[in-house]
């Protein structure tokens, strides 16, 4: 693999804590689509000097940004006690994970999650709402944005929706973009899908619950502990044993 290419390993994660069945929910996760490639077919036939598709700033960003779509219709309502009901009898559900961070708003967490891990030592992911699309759910709320290392930490990307003030409904249509994920690197992204196993889930949970056993510690300190424990080597070894298609 060229030094100009970054291998990014990714896997689907489904929060099945409310379901008793043992099911492989990977069936709900199509491969993500490159944003630049989705836009390119709609490019107008204009001069390169006047076309954003030839702009290094635009192409550099959108080529490293990927679109994650919703697998089926989902329609949620909250009553006066903030109990959630749905008109859809499907397994793509949502929950109130914790108290809201913004006044008069509700924070909802979708059961669809993803995890990413990079061999390179300095790659971050940036999570945003799908700013180049017009999905239906934007009228109700926005994806909570964030940025963190996928080279020095092993945690999932959660689809958390911060509802607009006073809104108590969230409707997400089938196939509409849920969120964008941008890989903060100048290298070309090579996405490699893998399956999670018990060992990888245990490592993920250790990172996810780090605030429980070491509160109010800067990320840099957590990354240092991650490196010194050689946790990255262990995770990469397990990932490479569970790559899809090999």
Burial 96-120 (b: 16+ CB within 10 A, else e): eeeeeeeeeebbbbbbbbbbbbbbe
Residue 6: which residues within 8 A CB-CB, separation 6 or more? 118, 119, 120, 123, 183, 185, 187, 188, 189, 190
Under DSSP, is residue 30 helix (H, G, I), strand (E, B) or coil? coil
Q: At CB < 8 A and 24+ separation, what contacts does 83-88 make? A: 84/108
Bridge partners (DSSP) of residue 157 are 114
Q: What is the pLDDT of residues 127-165, one digit of tens each?
A: 999 999 989 999 999 999 999 999 999 999 999 999 999
Handedness of CA 88, 89, 93, 99 (dihedral sign): positive
What are the sequence ranges of the domains in the chain? 5-240
Q: How many residues does this entry show for the chain? A: 246
Contact in structure between 177 and 67 (CB atoms under 8 Å): yes
Query: How far apart are the C-alpha atoms of 71 and 57, rounded to whole Å?
Result: 31
Task: Decide which of 126 and 217 is more confident.
Answer: 126
Give Dmax over CA atoms of the chain in angstroms. Answer: 57
- Phi then psi for 79, rounded to 5 degrees? -85, -170
With 0.75 as the threshold, say if the pTM is over it: yes
Q: What is the pLDDT of residues 75-101, one digit of tens each?
A: 999 999 999 988 777 778 899 978 888
Lowest mean pLDDT among 7-11, 160-164, 226-230: 226-230
What single-letter DSSP state applies at residue 211?
Answer: H
Provide the terminal-to-terminal Cα distance of the chain, rounded to the nearest Å.
17
Q: Which pairing describes strands 107-118 and 5-14: parallel, antiparallel, or unpaired?
A: antiparallel
């Amino acid at each position: 693999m060229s030094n100009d290419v970054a291998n990014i390993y990714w896997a689907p994660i489904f929060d099945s804590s409310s379901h008793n069945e043992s099911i492989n929910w990977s069936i709900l996760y199509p491969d993500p689509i490159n944003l630049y490639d989705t836009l390119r077919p709609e490019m107008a036939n204009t001069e390169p000097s006047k076309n954003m598709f030839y702009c290094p700033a635009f192409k550099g960003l959108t080529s490293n940004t990927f679109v994650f779509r919703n697998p089926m219709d989902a329609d949620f309502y909250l009553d006066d006690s903030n109990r959630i009901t749905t008109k859809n009898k499907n397994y793509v559900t949502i929950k109130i994970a914790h108290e809201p961070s913004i006044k008069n708003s509700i924070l909802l967490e979708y059961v669809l999650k993803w995890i990413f891990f990079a061999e390179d030592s300095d790659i971050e992911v940036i999570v945003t709402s799908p700013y180049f699309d017009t999905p239906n759910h934007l009228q109700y709320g926005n994806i909570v944005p964030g940025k963190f290392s996928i080279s020095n930490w092993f945690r999932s990307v959660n689809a958390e929706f911060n509802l607009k003030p006073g809104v108590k409904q969230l409707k997400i249509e089938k196939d509409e973009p849920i969120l964008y994920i941008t890989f903060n690197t100048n290298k070309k992204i090579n996405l490699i899908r893998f399956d999670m196993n018990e060992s990888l889930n245990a490592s993920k949970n250790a990172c996810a619950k780090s605030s429980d056993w070491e509160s109010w510690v800067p990320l840099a300190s957590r990354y240092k502990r991650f490196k010194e424990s050689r946790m990255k080597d262990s995770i990469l070894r397990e990932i490479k044993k569970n790559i899809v298609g090999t």
